[in-house]
Structure formats: C-alpha cells, structure tokens
Amino acid sequence: MMRTLMLASACTLALLLGACGSDKGEQTPASGNTAAASANGHADDGTVTLSADQIAAAGVQIGRPILGGGGTVELPAIVEGDPQATQIVSAAIGGRVVALHRNLGQLVGRGETIAVIESREAAQLKGDVAAARARLNLANVNLAREQRLFAERVSPEQDLVAARTAAAEARIALAQAQRQVAAAGGGGGGLNRIGIVAPIAGQVIARPVTLGQTVAADAELYRIANLAQVSLSLNLRPEDAGRIRPGAMVSVNAPGRQANATVRFVSPALDPQTRQVPVVAMLDNRAGIWRVGEPVTASVQLAGSGGSTAIRVPTTAVQTVAGKPMVFVRTATGFKATPVVLGDAAGATVLIRSGLTGQERIATNGSFTLKAELGKGEAAEED
C-alpha cells in the first residue's frame, strides 16, 4: 500500500512539471545533502529534487540576492504646492468686493492689482493721506517764506527753525499715512476703494470670494502659488525614515507620467495621529504636468542598513514553511528550503539579516510551487 501511494505521488509531480518520470525506480541518494530521498523526489531535510526541464516547466525563475543598498519603498503621496512659494492674499480692511481681476488658473505678476475693496475705512485712510499732503504743502510754503525773511534779516532764526521742524513733521505724517494705505492695499481708483495687489508672481489656485461679497479684515481673497516646483507629502514608517536623508531620490509615478523628486525634509518627530514620519520631497514642475492635490505613487530610495553587505531578495522568494520564513536555494539536484531571518521590507524586496551569504542562486518567482511540492512530499512520507 505504501509503495502504491509513493508511485502515485511521483506520477502527480511528473505530470505537473511536464516531465513524467514513472519509468524510474526508487533512487538511493549519492550524498549527505539528499539523504533519505523518497520516490517523489523530495527529502526529509527540506530538499526538492527537480531537473532543469522540470524547473522550467513549473515556471520557477532563478536569480541571485541583491547585495548592497537598501532598496526602495513604495507608498502613496499627494502633490502639494511649495510652502515657500505659496501665499494667501487677504483683505487688510473689511468692506465690499467690487472687482476681482483674476480667475482660477490665471497667471498673475508680482505687484499687479487683483481685487478692489470698497469701504468707509478705505475712505478714511485715503482722506488721511490727502490731509497730510495738504499740511505738508502748507508747511513747505511757510518754510520758504521764513527762509526768505531770514535771508532779508526780517525774521529771527528761531522762526526759521520752527518752520523747518513743522515741514519735517508734515513729511513724516504724509509718509505714515501713505504707508497705512500701502499696508491696506493700493490705489483702487476711488477715494473709498483700496486695490489689493499680488505679493508674488504665480498662478491663482484658489479664489474663495465672489463679486459683491462683504468680507471682514483678513478674509482670504486669493491663494497664489508658483508651481514651477511642487512638493510631495509622504509618511514613512520610523524604520524606513531612519534610512533616508535630504537629497535622497524619489521616483514619482502617475498614469502616463514619471519624474524624479528629491527629499528636502525628514521630520525629527512622529505625526501624533498616524505615528509615522512626515517627509517632504521637491519635484520640478516647470512643464506643468503635476497638479496640486493629485495622488501619486512615490518610490523612495532607502540607504542600506548593512552597508555593502546588505542582502535583499524579492518578497516573492520568501515562503513560510513550518512557521518559519524560508528561501529556496538552488542545488545540484533541485532546491533546498533554507531558513532565513528577515529584516525590513522595502517595496518589492525584503532584507535578509541572516541565512544567506548573497552568493546563492535562489528561486525568485514560483517559490510557492516549490513549497507546495515540498508539502506533498512530507505528506507522502507521513502516510
């Protein structure tokens, strides 16, 4: 009965691999590495005996571990405007919005008037400027008269000094009134209107107000961003964040587009909500192909945790056998399930802390098939 079951198992493996070996009898292993081999081609020490043709028929791909470096980690990211090149344009005084000169997406130059607000406060500010200018004109006239009288020895010097002081005070008052108007905005085209100017050159990315709306002081009118460079907002696990530095490369991918960004900032503190590390990377956008708020996939280049001796394998090469992670190492007669100690996963690869030297040839794809065949052999032996 035992021999019948073992022969049936051998034929099943041969049919799966496309190379039936039912005409072969039981073989006695020639070395210690294949000791206790059974008729189904498996050994009780974790080996799977397969020919090169059988390996190819099973779709098992063979490669070598990756030495050095830390690989990459892929994660979702959001395109954001460069915080240093984005500015909110707000109303310095309250009033009614009577003009909006830019719409969403339009370009604006630095210093251009983009909105006009009408209010009593604007009238007061401009009235102060007009009054200060009138007082300065009068002070200048008095100063000129006192200078003439002093030159003719008609007026004493103290009157000339007083006239000079009054003119200086009038100039200061006018300058102060003009600065108050400038702080509120600009011209505006009327005594009761203030024009709001763009503080930077860029593109309008938000305009939360509408024409005719009454706004309070400090209300947001526009949001302007220079989108020649955008940023990526990433969140990394602490163990991954510890393996990147400013200047690290980030590959950015979206449907139909790909570009490289550079890490600018790695936060020294965890985000209190996500318990992950915020990272900011900068992306060149002079071609205008990336949009603020767009979700993308970012592949972050990680530094090796073990220097040039760091060993990485594809995650598809690792299988769990009897509760332990294993990698199938190529042998002269097939494969041997080799126990390994895993490190951090990085994208499609995982670090191997121990168990491999890095010089082995391993099953990089199709290792699940080898695990299944190993399990069949163990089941047959138990029977």
More confident: 82 or 316: 316
Q: What per-residue confidence (pLDDT) applies to 44?
A: 59
User: Which CATH number, 3.10.129.10, 2.40.50.100, 1.10.10.10, 3.40.50.720, labels domain 87-225?
Assistant: 2.40.50.100
- Whether this prediction's pTM lies above 0.75 is answered by no
Which residues, other chains included, contact 239 with Cβ-Cβ below 8 Å and sequence gap of 6+? 344
Does residue 11 surpass a pLDDT of 90? no
Does residue 218 surpass a pLDDT of 60? yes
Give whole-number Cα distances, 17 to 59, 60, 200, 212, in Å: 9, 10, 68, 78
Beta strands at 311-314 and 349-354: parallel, antiparallel or unpaired: antiparallel
Does residue 222 surpass a pLDDT of 90? yes
Rounded Cα gap, residues 336 and 49, in angstroms? 9
pLDDT in tens, 282-292: 998 888 888 88
Beta strands at 66-67 and 311-314: parallel, antiparallel or unpaired: antiparallel
Q: What per-residue confidence (pLDDT) applies to 381?
A: 53
Does residue 9 surpass a pLDDT of 50? no
Rounded Cα gap, residues 72 and 303, in angstroms? 9
Kindly indicate whether the domain formed by 2-70+308-382 is annotated with CATH number 2.40.420.20: yes
- Highest average pLDDT, of 21-25, 127-131, 348-352, comes from 127-131
pLDDT in tens, 336-377: 999 999 987 766 778 888 899 888 999 998 899 999 888 775
Domain extent listing, the chain: 2-70+308-382, 72-82+227-303, 87-225
pLDDT in tens, 164-198: 999 999 999 999 988 888 877 776 667 788 888 89
Rounded Cα gap, residues 121 and 136, in angstroms? 23
Residue 221 banded pLDDT, cuts 50, 70, 90 = very high
More confident: 261 or 18: 261
For 263: left if phi > 0, alpha if psi spans -120 to 50, otherwise beta; the answer is: beta
Which whole number is the average pLDDT over 139-161?
91
* Distance, first Cα to last Cα, the chain: 10
pLDDT in tens, 297-323: 888 877 654 444 678 888 899 999 989
Q: Please tell me the CATH superfamily of domain 72-82+227-303, with its number.
A: Efflux pump adaptor protein, beta barrel domain (2.40.30.170)
More confident: 264 or 344: 264
Which whole number is the average pLDDT over 84-97?
88
Percent of the chain with pLDDT strictly greater than 90: 29
Does residue 40 surpass a pLDDT of 50? no
Average pLDDT of the residues of the chain: 81
